[in-house]
Amino acid sequence: MPETATPPQQNGGGFKLPDFDTLKKEVIDSQIWRSMFRGGVWKDTPRDRAAHIIGNVWLHLHPVKVRPRALHWTYTWGLGGISFMLFLILTVTGVLLMFYYRPTVDLAYRDMKDLEFAVTLGVLMRNMHRWAAQAMVVFVILHMVRVFLTGAYKKPREFNWGIGVILLTLTLFLSFTGYLLPWDQLAIWAVTVGTNMAGATPFLGNEGPFGALMGMRINNDVRFTLLGGTMVGENTLIRFYVLHCVAVPLITGILLIVHFWRVRKDSFSAAPIDPAEEKVDVWPNLVGREYIAAAGCLLAIMIWSILMNAPLEIVANPNVTPNPSKAPWYFVGLQELLVYFDPWIAGVVMPNLIIVGLMAIPYIDTNPKGIGFYSLKERPFANAMFLLGVAMWFILIYIGYYCRGPNFAWFNPWESWLNQKPAMPPTWNIFGPLEGAVPFTFKMAADIVGGRLGGLEPGVVPNLMPGWLGAIVLGGMGGFLMIGPKLIQKDIPGKTANLAFIGAMAVVAVLGKIFAGLPVMQGLWLVFFAWTGFYFGFLLPQRHIRQLEWPRYLFTMFLVLNTVAVPLKMGARLAFNVKYVLTFPTISLNI
C-alpha cells in the first residue's frame, strides 16, 4: 500500500513536530556540535570509523583496526575492560559518598548510619561502592589468570605484566584502606591485624626479627608511621582516608594510563598473527563490545546493590574483638596463612615474594611456545605452578571463610558454631634451644608421632632437637632441593617416580602406625602433603626447568620451594601440631 501524507490535524494551528532525522541532522550540523566533535558528515566509511577513534580523546588509546582473533569473547572475556568499568563506578560512587562522610572517630560511624537511613540514595551509593570494590578484586584476579593462561605476558609485554601486578596490589590496598572508614568492629579489627603485620617486618618493625637490634620501639617503627600512633585511632583514620580517597586512586589512575598505553603500543593483542586474517574496524566492532560489557557491568552492580545491603557491624571498640574476627574474604587466605606462619613470614615476606615472583614470571619463563592462546600442554610447568599458587590462595580463603569458627577453631562447614570444640592440643617445635625445654626421649618422639602429646606440662612448648642442628639440616635440605633437580641429568620417569614416592611414604606411615601408634588419618595426611611437596617441588622442576641457565633456574627454584613450603608447613601443623620447624626466640626468628 502506497504511503499517503496525512494532513496535520492534531495540532490544529498547523505546527508540526520535526521528525527525528531532520532534528538530528540540524543538531549535528550546528556550529556548537561541529566545534565539539571533530570530523565532517558521518557517512560510515572506513575513514569515518577511523576518525571516530583518532579524533576522540577518550577513544584514541584504541588502535584504528584490530584483528578479529583479538575480539573473541572467549579469548579475553572482557575481564580487563570490566575491571576498568568497576574502577570508574568506584570513582563516581566514592566521590558521592565523600559528600556525606567525615573521617573522625566521633563522626565516621554516625555518618555511615546516616548514609544508610537518612540520605536519599545513600544506601544505594554505599552498596554500589562496596559491591563494585569486591567485584573489582575478583575481576582483576581473573584478568591476571586469563593473561597468564594465554601466555600474553611474554615478550614484548613483560613490562606491562609488571604494571598489572602493581595494579592488582593497589586494588587490594585500596580495599584495605577503604575497609577502615566505616569505623565499625569489622573495620578496626581487620586494620589492627593488618597493621600489626607491619610491626612484624624484619629490621623495621618493633616485633619483627632483628627489630630490637635496630632500636625499633612501638613508637618509632614502620607500624607507627602507618598508624600515625601506637594504636588504630584518629590519626589512623585520617591517614587511611587520605590514602583511600586521594593518594592511591591517583597512583592507580596514572598506572592505568601506562597500562592501557602499553597494551596499545605492544600491538594490542597477543593472539598469534595469521597472514590471511583481515583486520576489522575498532569502531564499532571493539568499542561496541566495550560499551555492552560496561553497561552490563553497571546493571549487574546496581541490581546486586538493590537486592543486598553492604554489611555494617556495631561501632568500633578498640578493647573488645568480635569472635571470630575475620578479614574481608580476599584477605582471609592471608589470615589463614597467619595461623601457620609467624607474622613476619606470612604477613611480610610471603606477600612481597608473591608480588616479586609474579612480576618476575615473564623474565624467568623463557618458553617461547603458547603465546596468545590457552594451552596447558605447551607450557606444562608454568601453568602447573601458577595454577597451584592460585588454587592454594583460594583453598586458604575457603578454609578461613568456611572452616573457622569461634576462637578461630576448626569447624567443618556443616558443624554448628554453638557446639563447644575441645581445647586445641598443645604444639611443639622440631628445632629450637633446648635450655629450659622438655628433655627429648624416645617415648616423647613416639607420642608426638602418635599425636599423644597431651601429657606434657601445659604452657611449655617443647623443642625436640637443638636449634643449631636445625639450621644445618634445613640449610642442607634447602641447598639440595635447590640444586638437586638440575644435577640429575636424565628425565625421571613421572609415573614410576610418583608411585615409588607414594609407596615409600605409605611404608613410613605404616611403620609409624606399628611402632608409634600413628593414627590412620595422620598417616594419610603425611602421604598427601609429602607427595605435594615431592611432585611440585622436585619432580616437575626436574622434568621441565633443569635446562634453564643457572641464575634463572635458581630464582625459579627459590620461588617453587617457597610455594611448596606452604602446604608442607600447613600439613605439619594440622596433622602433627608442629608450631615451628625452627625457632630462635631470642631474635624473634621463627620458621
Partner 1 sequence: MAAFLGGSAAATGRFFFPNVIYEPSQKFNAGPVKSYDVGVSTRWLNEQRVWIIRTDKGIYAMWARCTHLGCTPSWFDDQGRFRCPCHGSNFNQGGDVIAGPAPRPLWRAKVELAATGDLIVDKAILEDLPGKRDNPPFFISLNA
Q: Interface with partner 1 by CB under 8 A: which residues?
A: 189, 192-193, 196-197, 200, 219-220, 224-225, 228-231, 233-235, 317-325, 335, 338-343, 347, 404, 406-409, 423-427, 458-461, 577, 579, 585, 588, 590
CA distance linking residue 365 with residue 572, whole number of Å:
31
Element (H, E) at 584: strand 583-584
Cβ closest to partner 1, residue 336 vs residue 365? 336
Q: C-beta of 391: minimal distance to partner 1 in Å? A: 22
Contacts of residues 466-471 at CB distance under 8 Å and 24 or more positions apart, as own/partner, are 466/431, 466/432, 466/433, 466/434, 467/431, 467/432, 467/433, 467/582, 467/583, 467/584, 469/431, 470/430, 470/431, 470/432, 470/581, 470/582, 471/431, 471/582
Q: C-beta of 520: minimal distance to partner 1 in Å? A: 23
Q: C-beta of 107: minimal distance to partner 1 in Å? A: 16
CA distance linking residue 416 with residue 414, whole number of Å:
7
* DSSP calls for 295-317: HHHHHHHHHHHHH-PPP--SBP-
Q: C-beta of 479: minimal distance to partner 1 in Å? A: 27
Q: What cell does 362 get?
A: 615473564
Q: What cell does 41 get?
A: 558528515
Cβ closest to partner 1, residue 325 vs residue 375? 325
β-pair type (280-281, 65-66): antiparallel
Cβ closest to partner 1, residue 183 vs residue 534? 183
Cα dihedral sign for 538, 543, 545, 547? positive
Cβ closest to partner 1, residue 182 vs residue 347? 347
Strands (DSSP E) contained in 250-354 are: 280-281
Q: C-beta of 326: minimal distance to partner 1 in Å? A: 8
Q: Are 533 and 453 in contact (CB under 8 A)?
A: no
Up-side HSE of residue 389: CA atoms within 13 Å toward CB?
A: 22
H runs (alpha helix) in 403-539: 442-449, 467-487, 494-516, 520-534
Cβ closest to partner 1, residue 337 vs residue 560? 337
Cβ closest to partner 1, residue 129 vs residue 579? 579
Q: C-beta of 536: minimal distance to partner 1 in Å? A: 24
Q: What cell does 280 get?
A: 576489522
Cα dihedral sign for 482, 487, 489, 495? negative
Bond before 422 cis per omega within 30 degrees: no
Cβ closest to partner 1, residue 115 vs residue 188? 188
Element (H, E) at 544: helix 540-544
CA distance linking residue 509 with residue 517, whole number of Å:
10
Cβ closest to partner 1, residue 134 vs residue 577? 577
Cβ closest to partner 1, residue 392 vs residue 578? 578
- At 219 the three-state DSSP class reads coil
Q: C-beta of 462: minimal distance to partner 1 in Å? A: 12
Cβ closest to partner 1, residue 93 vs residue 201? 201
Cβ closest to partner 1, residue 129 vs residue 223? 223
CA distance linking residue 109 with residue 313, whole number of Å:
10
Q: C-beta of 322: minimal distance to partner 1 in Å? A: 7
Q: CA dist 530 to 108, 492, 503, 552, Å?
A: 50, 18, 11, 26
Cβ closest to partner 1, residue 143 vs residue 579? 579
Q: What values do phi and psi take at 34, rounded to 5?
A: -60, -30
Q: C-beta of 370: minimal distance to partner 1 in Å? A: 40
Q: Which of 568, 67, 24 is nearest to 282 (CA)?
A: 67
Query: Which DSSP category does 466 fall into?
Result: -
Q: C-beta of 573: minimal distance to partner 1 in Å? A: 9
Cβ closest to partner 1, residue 193 vs residue 566? 193
Q: C-beta of 110: minimal distance to partner 1 in Å? A: 20
Residues sharing a CB contact under 8 Å with residue 150, sequence separation 6 or more, in sequence order: 75, 270, 371, 372, 373, 374
Q: C-beta of 409: minimal distance to partner 1 in Å? A: 6
Residues sharing a CB contact under 8 Å with residue 405, sequence separation 6 or more, in sequence order: 324, 411, 415, 417, 421
Q: C-beta of 591: minimal distance to partner 1 in Å? A: 12
Q: C-beta of 522: minimal distance to partner 1 in Å? A: 17
Cβ closest to partner 1, residue 352 vs residue 366? 352
Q: Which of 494, 553, 493, 502 is nearest to 531 (CA)?
A: 502
